[in-house]
Structure formats: C-alpha cells, structure tokens
Structure 1
Amino acid sequence: MGLNDLAGAVFEGVLFDMDGTLIDSTPAVVRAWTTWMGEFGLDPDQVGRHHGMPSAQVVRALLPQERQAEAIRRIDELELADVHDIVVLPGAAEALASLSHAKSAIATSCNGPLARARIAAAQLVPPSVLITVDDVSRGKPAPDPFLEAARRLGVDPRRCLVVEDAPKGLESARAAGCATLAVVTTTAREDLDADAVVDDLSEVEFLPGPDGIRVRLRP
C-alpha cells in the first residue's frame, strides 16, 4: 500500500467530503432512507446506485415530477430529525486539526441545516469553509462543490487534494481537476477510482509547510 504520486505532491488546499469521510452517519442515513423508501415504494438497490449525491438529486432520479416536491421535503425532514449515533471517523479530527492554519474545506452533498446538525452531533471542529448543496447550482457528481470550495479558499482546484469515500464524489473531484485520496469506509476498495486509497484517515497525516501541504502515510 502507498500513496503513489500523492507522496511527492504539494497541494494548496485539502477538500474533504463529510459523510463517510470525516463522520460516520451511516446508521442515521439508513434509518431515514429506509423509512422514506417504505413510504414512497422504492427498494434499496434503486437508492444505493446514487450514493454520494445530494438527496434532492436522488429523489429527482427516482420519482416522477409530480411526486418530487413532497418526497424531497420528506427526506429532508427525516434526515434532520435523526442525528443520533453520528461519530467522528478514525483520523478525521486529527486531520482537520493539523490543517487548522492551512487551507482546507468541507464540500458535502448535505444541505446546510443537515450538515451543521451532523457536524454538531459528531462534535467535529470543522474548517472555516463549508460548502453544502445550497451553495452550488449542481451537486456531485458535477464538479461545482469542489470548485466552489477552492474558489472560497482562493486556491487553484488543480492544486487541491480531495478526500472522498464515494464514487460519485470522486467523479466530482476529477471533473474539478483535483487530485484524489479515497477512504474505504462505505465503498469497496475496488470500486474507488482515486489516485490513492487508504482504509481511513488514521493511516495518513497532512503536513502544512511554507510551500503548501503534503500528505504521507503515518510512520
């Protein structure tokens, strides 16, 4: 296992996905979406294909237009009401702390209220830049979330490292021109198309310096 070309790279910024990358919200997500699927007559295979995308985009992909407004309102309601059992994933707090004086951001498919509720529930200390689906016209897998995060940080997206757990998020990062580091928290390793793949963030450390940010495997 190694970091491939990432080991020698220097980045201007590090852009993190949230769910499945920094925090484990899987139990809450499963509860909310299971209830929603039952109410709208869908099965898990249909929903699972859209992992990593904003909930409204998932709804629009699965239901006819006349049912979408109600379905979006309902999944938002269910997810916001359930932020139990949300915890910080291994290495995530340390990663953010090491970058507290460097350029880093979170770019998530959650809407703003849900992102802030999950961050608070996990007691995670986030970076100053938080991009949610409310901040962009197109969510993942479009590049917009990572492009907006880079813009707000004042950095070139082509010199940013994205940390993701989902194929759709990695697709978004590549479209934005970013380098990619995947964590194997929600998706099988063989399904993660990234520059490097690690089990979780406890395996790496981020090293800010005068010329930028490096990433390396923990010794």
Structure 2
Amino acid sequence: MGLGALSDEVFEAVLFDMDGTLIDSTPAVMRAWTTWMHEFGLTPEQMGRHHGMPSAQVVRALLAEDRHVEAIRRIDELELADVHDIVVLPGAAEALEALRGAKNAIATSCTVPLAQARIAAARLQPPSVLVTVDDVARGKPAPDPFLEAARRLGADPTRCLVVEDAPKGLEAARAAGCRTLAVVTTTEREDLDADAVVGDLSEVEFIPGEDGIRVRLRG
C-alpha cells in the first residue's frame, strides 16, 4: 500500500502526535488507567474507546461532576508515577532527525509535566515546538492542538501533515484542515481514517527541501 496523493504533496510542516506515534507508552498507560478504573469502580466496557483524548476529558465523560477534581488529580498522579518501559517507536528518531532543520512539532494530549516525563523516559530528542493540552482551550478531537502547533511554526494548517495513531487524533487533524498519515501501532488499520496508513514511521522518510517537506515510502 502506497501513500497515495501524499506522495505528490509538498508540506510546510509535519505535526506529530506523541504517544503511540513517536513513543510506545502503552504498557504504562494501561497500568495507570487500570488502577484508576478499579479505584473509581468502573468496568472496561464503561471505559470505552478514548485513546488520543486528554485524561481530563476522559474523566469528565465517565464520572459525575462532583468526582472530577479528585479523579483528574488521581490519574495525573498515577501516570506521572509510571514512566517505566517507555521506548521510542521504530523510525521515530530518524524522522525527527531528518526534520531537524525543517518545521515540525509535537501536539500531544498529555499535560506539560507528563509529556516532559515521557520524553525523558524514552530519551527522545523532541522538536523545539511542543504543544500540550495545557496550551489549548480544547484537546483532541478538537482541532486546537494542531492549530496551535501550526501557529507556533508560522505554518498554514492546510499545508501541514499530521502523523497520528488514534482515531480521535485523526479527527482533530481533519478538523484543523491538515492532511493525515496514520501509523498502525495502537489501532487496527481499518479503524484509521487517514489519507494514508503505514505500519510505523520506519516505513517512510521525510525529505526537506527549499520548497517544503516531502514524504516517501522507504525503498
């Protein structure tokens, strides 16, 4: 499977999701949310499919308002305390290195402290622009994180390529007017509505030039 129309486009900037796209934090995330779920008396069925959304939004969707403050504080505490076995996903370091002199950013649903903790745990070298849920009025699936990342880069959102692993993140990217490249790291391929889908970032290469950034499948 190729990249379709993405192969013919020249992008002004590349905007990366973090968890599930650049780093694998799934075991840590699962441990934290499983503990939280049991503590607040929820079942896996009630948890539903909230991957890619800020934790505070997940809490608000699941619990009564009078429990929000306590529950948000607790999941933040659990996630910050568990950054074990977080690693960089295949191709992620190479992608960021290739784009070091070009416009690129991370737009994540994490808070600032959690994003910094996970980046440090994975020993990832992030781009200079990092947008977290603390920087926007609304998190994914609203377009705000990607719009803010584009704004900070001085880029037109419609000329940005978003790289995501989660349906909610892809929804946010489309709402921002961005083109989308999905990676099959946390979600089944058939559930990823994107302009192109690859296994992970090791399957593609980003090629900056004077006119912008191109993306190609690796030979």
- Listed as ranges, the gaps of 5+ residues in structure 2 are none
The answer for the alignment partner of 2:98 in structure 1 is: 98
- 1:57-96 Cα offsets, whole Å, 9 max, x none, are 0000000000010000000000000000000000000000
1:43 has 2:21 as partner: no
- Compare 45-54 and 194-203 and name the one that shifted more: 45-54
Deviation at 1:51, TM superposition (A): 1.0
TM-score, normalised via structure 2 length: 0.99
Distance 1:33 1:123 in 2: 23
The answer for the alignment partner of 1:62 in structure 2 is: 62
SS in 1 for 2:213: strand
| Residues 106-145 of structure 1: pairs in structure 2 closer than 5 A | 106-145=106-145
The answer for the alignment partner of 1:161 in structure 2 is: 161
The answer for the alignment partner of 1:180 in structure 2 is: 180
RMSD of equivalent CA atoms: 0.5
Distance 1:46 1:151 in 2: 36
Q: Which amino acid aligns with 2:193?
A: D
SS in 2 for 1:213: strand
1:146 has 2:123 as partner: no
Q: Which amino acid aligns with 2:4?
A: N
| Residues 1-12 of structure 1: pairs in structure 2 closer than 5 A | 1-12=1-12
Deviation at 1:45, TM superposition (A): 2.7
Query: 4+ residue runs of structure 1 moved beyond 4 angstroms?
Result: none
Distance 1:141 1:206 in 2: 26
- Listed as ranges, the gaps of 5+ residues in structure 1 are none
Distance 1:77 1:205 in 2: 37
Distance 2:28 2:139 in 1: 21
Distance 1:175 1:46 in 2: 27
Deviation at 1:147, TM superposition (A): 0.0
SS in 2 for 1:102: coil
Q: Which amino acid aligns with 1:174?
A: R
Deviation at 1:122, TM superposition (A): 0.1
Distance 1:17 1:89 in 2: 12
